[in-house]
């Protein structure tokens, strides 16, 4: 029986979750799903330039698992770029370390933690906020996870 899959740690929810070639309808394109942990692997290595061992430590997974994850993610991104597919980012077994909120009134986006709820936009004072982690079904689980750093 295989070991249970460990939840991977992701810095924060992505700001954008759907990408496609210009001028082509989404429903006419084959879809490629990129999981949140795959996006995080690309962010850590290709965007931030971290070594695999350092990035694996940050996600709290083994280096070999991280290497498989980033290679899988790169293949998906390459297919998207070369073949002109619809790339969308969706869930996976993750916990977010932080969150991003978007004000639906003024469009301001700001980072926040899970330690205390933010109720108003710091730019305009509106309480019409969209929780990006909540859009992936997270919030309560990540709040609990981040309170117990010793896990």
Write the pLDDT tens digit of every residue in 27-52.
999 999 999 999 999 999 999 999 99
**Where in the chain do CATH 2.20.28 domains reside?**
96-147
CA distance 43 to 70: 10
DSSP state of 93: S
Q: Which CATH class is domain 96-147?
A: mainly beta
Measure the CA dihedral 48/121/136/72, to 10°: -10
Question: Dihedral sign, CA of 69, 74, 77, 78?
Answer: negative
| Total number of residues shown for the chain | 151
pTM over 0.75: yes
**pLDDT for 63-97, tens place per residue?**
999 999 999 999 999 999 999 999 999 988 888 98
Pairing of strands 109-112, 99-103: antiparallel
How many other CB atoms are there within 10 angstroms of residue 65's CB atom? 16
- Can you name the CATH fold of 8-95? Arc Repressor Mutant, subunit A (1.10.10)
Give residue 149's pLDDT: 54
pLDDT, position 135? 81
Give CATH 1.10.10 domain extents, the chain: 8-95
């Amino acid at each position: 029986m295989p070991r249970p899959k460990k939840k991977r740690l992701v810095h924060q929810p992505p700001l954008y979750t759907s990408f496609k070639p210009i001028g082509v309808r989404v429903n006419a394109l084959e879809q490629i799903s990129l999981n949140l942990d795959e996006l995080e692997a690309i962010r850590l290595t290709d965007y931030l330039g971290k070594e695999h061992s350092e990035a694996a430590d940050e996600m709290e997974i083994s280096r070999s698992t991280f290497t498989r994850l980033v290679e899988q993610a790169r293949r998906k991104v390459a297919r998207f770029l070369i073949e002109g597919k619809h790339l969308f980012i969706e869930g996976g077994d993750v916990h977010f370390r932080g969150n991003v909120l978007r004000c639906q009134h003024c469009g301001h986006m700001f980072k926040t933690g899970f330690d205390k709820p933010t109720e108003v936009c710091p730019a305009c004072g509106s309480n019409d906020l969209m929780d990006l982690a909540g859009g992936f079904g997270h919030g309560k689980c990540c709040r609990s996870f981040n309170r117990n750093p010793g896990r």
